[in-house]
Chains A and B, each alone.
Chain A
Amino acid sequence: MQRIGVFVCWCGSNIAGTVDVAKVAEALKSEPGVVLSTNYQYMCSQAGQEMIKEAVKEHKLTGLVICSCSPRMHEATFRKTAAAAGINPYMVEIANIREQCSWIHKDMEEGTEKAIVLGRTAIAKVNLNAPLTPGESPVTKRALVIGGGIAGIQTALDIADAGFYVDIVEKKPTIGGKMAQLDKTFPTLDCAACILTPKMVDVAQHERIRIFSYSEVESVKGFVGNFDVTIRKKARYVKEDVCTGCGLCTEKCPQKKVPNEFNLGMDNRRAIYIPFAQAVPKVATIDADYCTMLKTGKCGVCSKVCTAKAIDYTQKDEFIEEKYGAIVAATGFNPISMDKFDEFAYSQSKDVITSLEFERLMNAAGPTAGKLLRPSDGVHPHKIVFVQCVGSRCASCAEKGKEYCSKICCMYTAKHAMLTRDKYPDTDVTVFYIDVRTPGKQFDEFYRRAVEEYGVHYIKGMVGKVSPEGNKLIVQGSDLIANKQLKIEADLVVLAAAIEPDKSARPLATMLTASMDTNDFFTEAHPKLRPVESPTAGIFLSGACQGPKDIPETVSQAGAAAAKVIGLLAKDKLTGNPCVAHSDEMMCNGCSSCEKVCPYGAITYSDKEFRGPNRTTLIRRVASVNEAICQGCGCCTVACPSGAMDLKGFASKQIMAEVDAICK
């Protein structure tokens, strides 16, 4: 028989405000096994924990029931307290009378009644609890970073500098991500390439970093410390280790009409290409969708001109299998499609562009070699209108825009406006804004400089429609402060498109069993206190895949994610979860149901000898669980038709006892 101590927490007024804690403690006194039932203001405080330790000694307790907040909050705290008092930590049960009781009820009487039921349920379970000891598993000292933008680059560098091996998987032919496409960066206006490319080179030269470019994660198995990952290295039809990156092939390739994605389709590249001059790795890639040789078997120019003999038209996708201890998602973002915003005439006029396209137009390596020219006729624009919040803060139409604020647009629009006025003082610049949001170091000062020193016209209001007329764009919008409707004849309209997570994030999250929100941003383990970890152990988050953020914030988060990874990889062994599945061999009928449903591959079958009646031996096929791999999800216990499979700490018997206690 257990000797159970019940401790009811007030949590200040959080619980005591809606639950009569003294009454709960009194009511639970008469439950089977309970030898002590008391209440205290803050059980989690040092004094509260001491009180538990004293009580264990005094009353020779064998089990504890803490009626307090959610076990996600303090289960670990009270398990440690129990261990310090000499009780097995798995003899502690938490009755959640805060999140699931006091916070959601208003009536004291109802709240108290429910708290008593929840307490009684936990007592019923503790009566059937048995001491459990967790197992240990080793840690593979290598990290995988998925995504090679500034987030992935920074995370990889920080992990590698701490002495661990890192692999970066990047789906594009080069690392660099979105930052490589930017012209200047706010608020200091230093050139993006000048600060990014040295980091890209650092990655390439780091002895502990491997880059898998033009590659994607194919499958992920295993668990924290022991992930088995398959990486698909897509065929680039160029031998990566042989190609010198001289670029001769990219000049001689006769297929000249391939939209250049690096310049967002505003100019063309060849079918064999190096995305940009500072690409890492600086290796050519053949675009199989356009290459004449791969499509018809007739051409081979690149192969003829290549002095290094690096071209290989027979190359196939390659699969690489590697073990990792930790995985970092750094999959980044994209601007949303403007196709559905007909009112801004994006699909009607070439002179309505997105802000990222504007970056390329301003960039010296861009389609116009840094001259600001209209895409339609190559003429210098004299009147530019910027429209902010296109698709951001858009609650009405999920298929069109995004409900959230994209965070970076206010600042880059101020940057674009300022740079335009600086380079082309003859160009008039107007910005339509709903709110200008500039929290950040030197951010508001930057925006004010655009207005005060550079004479950018900021108009509080939104553009209702843009209509192309002749070679002009008529921008109709409201000026809310003047209470006027404006019609501006513009030469160029720039839309600050909302940003969304990269499309590859959703399937990746499924592979990683990492959770996502409704916008496909990865969710943090805790929005404030664990912002760079996924709730799935061993999965970490870096950059805009977790939420919109600018470069300084991305770099900070990338470093934080690296610190968490280092903390994990520095351990030699990880303590497992003892609440794993266990099969009763005497009851197992060998049906394989559990093996089929196990998401972790933790169950295997083997033939075993059993003693039969009359001194005979029987050979039966029975299941066994690898406790190091089992994550305790419980799928098998539900699938098992004979009731042989059970979960330690959450046995069917224990759960039925809880249900009975509720229904009593």
Chain B
Amino acid sequence: MENSKQNLCNEIVRRSGVNPRKCMKCGKCSGTCPAYDEMEYHPHQFVYMVETGDIEPLLNSKSIYRCLTCFACVDRCPRGVEPAKLVEAVRLAVVREQGKNHLKADDIPELLDEELPQQAIVSALRKYSK
């Protein structure tokens, strides 16, 4: 079990192309994040938790669907860590499991609303399902 968790962690690191060891723990990613208040785990915590192999809480957290993928953290990180790519890799690790789609095509009609651009729904479907 420990081993498979470590494997998944390594897999997430590999898929994201992020080296969490480059992080110098300055917190600029969390300082810049516009979705900070929506997230249970903040960008700098994502990096730290993946670095230490503590990914279970991340896999079960709603935070992975709260990241806007705006890439502000990627742009401003002084060490080139790219936290958003790590969040994305964790999210993909979840939604790629069978039956773990966070958004299904059938859910869409209910979400439609005049204020919401269609493009947002299309990209949400891409991000939140297999």
Contact = CB atoms under 8 A, between A and B. Distances in A.
Contacts of B80: 395-397
B25 A478 contact: no
B17 to A, nearest CB: 14
A485 B30 contact: yes
Given A396-B77, A464-B72, A483-B42, A434 B25 contact: yes
A463 B31 contact: yes
Interface string A360-404: 000000000000000000000000000001000111110001000
A463 B22 contact: no
Contacts of B24: 393, 434
A480 B32 contact: no
B71 to A, nearest CB: 13
Contact of B30 (A394, A395, A396, A464): A464
Chain B CB within 10 Å — which of A343, A396, A477, A479 has the most?
A396
Nearest to B80: A396
B42 to A, nearest CB: 7
Nearest to B77: A396
B78 interface: yes
A89 interface: no
A119 interface: no
B1 to A, nearest CB: 29
A390 to B, nearest CB: 9
Nearest to B43: A478
B44 interface: yes
B31 A477 contact: yes
B115 interface: no
A464 B35 CA distance: 13
Chain A CB within 10 Å — which of B25, B32, B33 has the most?
B32
Interface string A210-246: 0000000000000000000000000000000000000
B31 A389 contact: no
B78 A393 contact: yes
B32 A464 contact: yes
B33 A464 contact: yes
Nearest to A461: B27
Interface string B65-84: 00000001000111111000
A178 interface: no
A252 interface: no
B5 interface: no
Given A434-B24, A462-B26, A395 B79 contact: yes
B30 A478 contact: yes
B27 A460 contact: yes
Contact of B31 (A393, A394, A462, A483): A462
B72 to A, nearest CB: 7
B27 A396 contact: no
A512 to B, nearest CB: 33
B37 interface: yes
A476 interface: yes
Contact of B37 (A395, A463, A483, A485): A485
B29 interface: yes
Contacts of A485: 30-31, 33, 36-37, 42
Interface string B20-64: 001011111111110011000010110000000000000000000
A636 B68 CA distance: 63
A464 B28 contact: yes
Nearest to A463: B31
A465 to B, nearest CB: 5
Contacts of B72: 464-465
Contacts of A397: 78, 80
Nearest to B73: A464
Contact of A395 (B22, B25, B28, B42): B22
Contacts of B45: 483
Nearest to A481: B27
A395 B26 CA distance: 13
Contacts of A478: 27-31, 36, 42, 44
B29 A480 contact: no
B32 A476 contact: yes
Contact of B44 (A394, A396, A463, A480): A480
A343 B76 CA distance: 8
Contacts of B33: 464, 485
Contacts of A401: 78
Contacts of A393: 24, 26, 78-79
Contacts of B77: 396
Interface in B73-130: 76-81
B39 to A, nearest CB: 10
A462 B27 contact: yes
A462 B79 contact: no
Contact of B26 (A434, A465, A476): A434
A464 B32 CA distance: 4
A477 B72 CA distance: 13
Nearest to B74: A396
A394 B76 contact: no
A404 to B, nearest CB: 12
Given A434-B25, A480-B25, A389 B78 contact: yes
Contact of A480 (B27, B37, B78): B27
Chain A CB within 10 Å — which of B25, B28, B33, B37 has the most?
B28
A343 B25 CA distance: 19
B26 A389 contact: yes
Contacts of A464: 28-33, 72, 76
Contact of B32 (A460, A465, A479, A483): A465
Contacts of A483: 42, 45
Given A389-B78, A396-B80, 18 more contacts: A394-B79, A395-B79, A395-B80, A396-B81, A397-B78, A401-B78, A434-B25, A462-B31, A464-B76, A465-B72, A477-B31, A478-B28, A478-B31, A478-B44, A480-B25, A483-B42, A485-B30, A485-B42
21 contacts: A389-B78, A393-B26, A394-B78, A395-B80, A396-B79, A396-B80, A397-B80, A401-B78, A434-B24, A434-B27, A462-B26, A462-B31, A463-B28, A464-B28, A464-B32, A465-B31, A477-B27, A478-B28, A478-B42, A485-B36, A485-B37
Enumerate the 10 nearest inter-chain pairs by beta-carbon distance, A residue then B residue, closest first: A464-B32, A396-B80, A464-B31, A462-B28, A478-B27, A478-B31, A478-B30, A461-B27, A477-B31, A434-B26
